Chains A and B, each alone.
Chain A
Amino acid sequence: MPAVSKGDGMRGLAVFISDIRNCKSKEAEIKRINKELANIRSKFKGDKALDGYSKKKYVCKLLFIFLLGHDIDFGHMEAVNLLSSNKYTEKQIGYLFISVLVNSNSELIRLINNAIKNDLSSRNPTFMCLALHCIANVGSREMAEAFASEIPRILVAGDTMDSVKQSAALCLLRLYKTSPDLVLMGEWTSRVVHLLNDQHMGVVTAAISLITCLSQKNPDEFKTCVSLAVSRLSRIVSSASTDLQDYTYYFVPAPWLSCKLLRLLQCYPPPEDGAVKGRLVECLETILNKAQEPPKSKKVQHSNAKNAILFEAISLIIHYDSEPNLLVRACNQLGQFLQHRETNLRYLALESMCTLASSEFSHEAVKTHIETVINALKTERDVSVRQRAADLLYAMCDRSNAKQIVAEMLSYLETADYSIREEMVLKVAILAEKYAVDYSWYVDTILNLIRIAGDYVSEEVWYRVIQIVINRDDVQGYAAKTVFEALQAPACHENMVKVGGYILGEFGNLIAGDPRSSPLVQFNLLHSKFHLCSVPTRALLLSAYIKFINLFPETKATIQEVLRCDSQIRNSDVELQQRAVEYLKLSSIASTDVLATVLEEMPPFPERESSILAKLKKKKGPGAVSVTELEDSKREGGELNGGGDRGPDTSAMSASNASTPSPSADLLGIRSSAPAGTAPASAGNLLVDVFSEAGPAAPSAAVNDDGFLSSAPPSEDPAPPLSEADELLNKFVCKNNGVLFENQLLQIGIKSEYRQNLGRMYLFYGNKTSVQFASFTTSVSCPGELQSHILSVQLCFSIFRNYQSLKSDFWSTVCKTILNRSKFQNLHPSVIVI
């Protein structure tokens, strides 16, 4: 038997709802609903015009079905028809339907707006309210266009009933929020402010929401509301509980109105007028006093209402931030709440104190509660309360308590909820950096962070610790030692391996003296973790290994062995394979000087905003974290990042001209050739600079041991064992340009280009000495059949200057040789150098 409903019952609806409830399964429910939908559809399409009651019933049923979660695609027309009925209940259902199932059909919108207009201009307050409710619920642009000018008039007209005024105020507010451009300020604005003085408390309650929103957008226009608000507030606060009759809520006078008044005042700075200000301060003090009085009722509603006003008053005090006396009292009050029985109050107290902590007047007062907050962090059962406690610790942290707070947060982190760990990690990292006096403490903290919550330590955090260690000489040794010890743990987090790999790679030499952390021990330690790591970490470790080769030549053989093994140089991951191959090559062909320059210690990083802060801001959303303090002190922390503006160091890849080949180098001087292929253009390799890498594959040219270009077979033939000389030339298999020959005096480069059956080769001669060449001549001799294919050989050169200025004049020394392409593959130009 369905519950009896008041009013007219709509029995059919009740039966339908019962049926649905009695359905045993989802399928049965859907079946029943479809049956009903078919029924309603046929009734709507039927010949007989439905009477109002039936229409209302069916529209209501459709609404019910929609609210259950099923889609409804008809019924709007019938609902709109109900709007024009004279019967209140039919209108009501019609309005409810169209507010819930908003339709964007323009014809319907026109009809709806018409109906609303009629109701607004009828002098019937109940109908007017219905129309206003609908506009406020829907608030569409079309409605705003139609009614934005009408509603302010209704609001301030003298003959409008109170209930209509309330609805009009909030309706206007809704339209203002959604279409602010259509609600124009006019003479109604000054009259709206005076609604604050209205007799009817309900009108004031509704109007004040509107005024608050308008004040935020046009503070000057509405600033007269401040004094009105203050006087209203003080009347309420000092009233006896019987004065306000039904607006007293569990012995608290008009709590909602009081809170709204306090919120309105937060839109403005403290009042300048002395009298007004005095009255307000008195008000706030009364509110604070009342909190100390014994409660008038045991009910939770009473204390909630009373405390709601108290918290809002405290928000106002914090907003003003100018009355130290009030601020301290507020802080003490919150301190009492920190240990209240009720969880809600503890939660709110922790939250409010966060804002208090950033005010200079109350910061010290907040700090006195540190023990309570730490206790809350440890013992609260509700995770959201614990989180507020953590936030408060973060806000109240300063130099005096930083170590204690960071320690507490770290121990909290060990058992914290997974959803908040990342944020906690960021906060600990920020605090540790900001308040580090002794950077070894900072390094310890971050390594602890990685140990405890490694998964949640984002890249920004460990990048930062590396940046700081690199920039501070005094902590490098300590960092190396600590990281070494941390890596000894049997199961250490991958982030630890990353940090460890990097730091040992840079600063492992600082602890290499101790036999327990000798170079090979360090290498073995790192390598023992190698196979457990992901690809990016392994890539980092490979870089660390090559750095080890540079720092500790005695490890070279061991490390090369590792690099050489198949799992590295044939690794399926491109990055790892490339690194292994390149590092292996680098270690074998680069001289110690070259290696040392390539793998020079990282220079200090330039100062920039901590990316950790940016990440925290992004996580918390704008305004949620008080970062202003942090940003200010970052400027003091400038010395943290070493001076100078050096960007990423690319000059490490310096040229071969910096190195002097040994006198015993053979004529070809292969050993002094350019470093590994990753070297970008630099001063010495001018020829490499000049060339672009595009172009079809060029034939190879071989050089025989005398330094003469010989007619050795091209690479297509089965290759004889390559001498080192050939290595230089073999690259022309796939390149058109490059260095052909080099020794102490001279560098010869070749640049070639080809089109169809024509080819062109340029030979460049570079003077590597600091004196001019004299009587320098070149000739090209082509053996045998090559001669017939060469169209012309042009030798041209200008005066050789000394090496330094050759940089700019190189183009003037060009030797052109034009060859017939089709035979070219078998031919190799010979150059005889005199």
Chain B
Amino acid sequence: MMRFLLLFSRQGKLRLQKWFTPIPEREKKKIIREMTTMVLARQPRSCNFLHWKDLKIIYKRYASLYFCLAIENHENELLALEVIHRYVELLDKYFGNVCELDIIFNFEKAYFILDEFLLGGEIQETSKQIVNRCIESSDMLQERW
């Protein structure tokens, strides 16, 4: 199961936070601080996996954004890396050449897309087309109403 997903910039500004288990607010802030410090301190050519407490942290940098995903110890790291990639692809397909600004100004859409892709810390749907269709159709609903 995934525990949380964080997106932050190179300056450490948080752009998206998704928590898959209930955690008190103070704890969340602490975790965010620790993650940003840990990930931003990594050397460029190191591997994408870290051990932190009893979780594995998978991180990857896309342009100016760091994607940081925490998974439980028995989960597959390479797959988690591809989960991140799949999410980026979904964002890309929806926004067209997605960049950080898109996520800043349309943060609620980023969460909606995430909800179609992952739910309760598990993968819900891996087909890019299907997820995209869901989001597009909700946009159509918007325009109609």
- Mark A residues whose CB is within 8 Å of B: 2-3, 5-8, 14, 17, 21, 60, 63-64, 67, 69, 86-89, 92-93, 96, 102, 126, 133, 136-137, 139-140, 163, 166-167, 170-171, 173-174, 201-202, 205-206, 209, 246-247, 249, 254-257, 259-260, 263, 301, 304-305, 307-308, 311-312, 343-344, 346-348, 381-385, 621
Contact = CB atoms under 8 A, between A and B. Distances in A.
Contact of B109 (A6, A14, A260): A6
A254 B138 CA distance: 27
Contact of B78 (A171, A311, A621): A311
A139 B120 contact: yes
Q: Is the interface of B mostly helix, strand, loop or mixed?
A: helix
Given A8-B143, A139-B22, A384-B51, A256 B126 contact: yes
A93 B138 CA distance: 12
Contacts of A263: 74, 76
A86 B54 CA distance: 44
A307 B120 contact: no
B130 A344 contact: no
A382 B115 contact: no
Interface of B: 14, 17, 22, 29, 43, 45-51, 54, 74, 76-79, 81-82, 85-86, 94-95, 101-102, 104-109, 111-112, 115, 119-130, 134, 137-139, 141-143, 145
A296 B130 CA distance: 25
A209 B119 CA distance: 11
A126 B112 CA distance: 12
Given A5-B109, A17-B105, A133-B119, A348 B78 contact: yes
A574 to B, nearest CB: 40
B79 A256 contact: yes
Nearest to B141: A88
A343 B47 contact: yes
A92 B112 contact: yes
Nearest to B121: A174
Contact of B145 (A88, A246, A257): A88
A137 B111 CA distance: 11
Contacts of A64: 107
B124 A170 contact: yes
Q: Which 5 A-B pairs have the closest CB atoms?
A: A308-B78, A174-B120, A382-B46, A343-B47, A209-B122
A205 B125 contact: yes
Contact of B123 (A5, A63, A137, A209): A209
A7 B76 contact: no
B105 A88 contact: no
A94 B76 CA distance: 34
Nearest to A68: B14
B122 A170 contact: yes
Contact of B119 (A136, A256, A348, A385): A136
Nearest to B29: A69
Contact of B134 (A163, A174, A247, A343): A163
Contact of B105 (A5, A301, A344): A5
A140 B21 CA distance: 10
A254 B46 CA distance: 28
A173 B79 contact: no
A757 B3 CA distance: 77
Contact of A304 (B46, B81, B130, B143): B81
B50 A88 contact: no
Contacts of B138: 88-89, 92, 126
A348 B14 CA distance: 29
A7 B143 contact: yes
B142 A8 contact: yes
B123 A256 contact: yes
A57 to B, nearest CB: 11
Nearest to B129: A246
A206 B76 contact: no
A381 B78 CA distance: 20
A768 B21 CA distance: 77
Contacts of A170: 119-120, 122, 124
A137 B104 CA distance: 22
Contacts of A256: 79, 82, 123, 126
A63 B101 contact: no
Given A89-B145, A92-B138, A344-B47, A311 B76 contact: yes
Contacts of A88: 138, 141-142, 145
Given A5-B109, A7-B143, A308-B79, 10 more contacts: A5-B102, A6-B106, A7-B109, A87-B141, A89-B145, A246-B127, A312-B76, A344-B78, A346-B47, A382-B45
B124 to A, nearest CB: 5
Given A7-B143, A17-B104, A384-B49, A205 B29 contact: no
Contact of A347 (B49, B112, B127, B134): B49
6 contacts: A126-B141, A167-B124, A206-B124, A312-B76, A344-B48, A344-B81
B134 to A, nearest CB: 7
B107 A202 contact: no
Contact of B126 (A5, A17, A136, A202): A202
A7 B137 CA distance: 10
Interface centre among B86, B106, B121 (most CB of A within 10 A): B106
B76 A308 contact: yes
B79 A202 contact: no
A269 B111 CA distance: 39
Contacts of B115: 133, 137
B46 A166 contact: no
A93 B50 CA distance: 35
Contacts of A3: 101-102, 105-106
B79 A259 contact: yes
Contact of A246 (B22, B74, B128): B128
A305 B126 contact: no
A64 B111 CA distance: 12
A206 B122 contact: yes
Given A259-B79, A343-B46, A384-B49, A171 B126 contact: no
Nearest to B16: A67
Nearest to A246: B127
Contacts of B79: 255-256, 259, 304-305, 308, 312
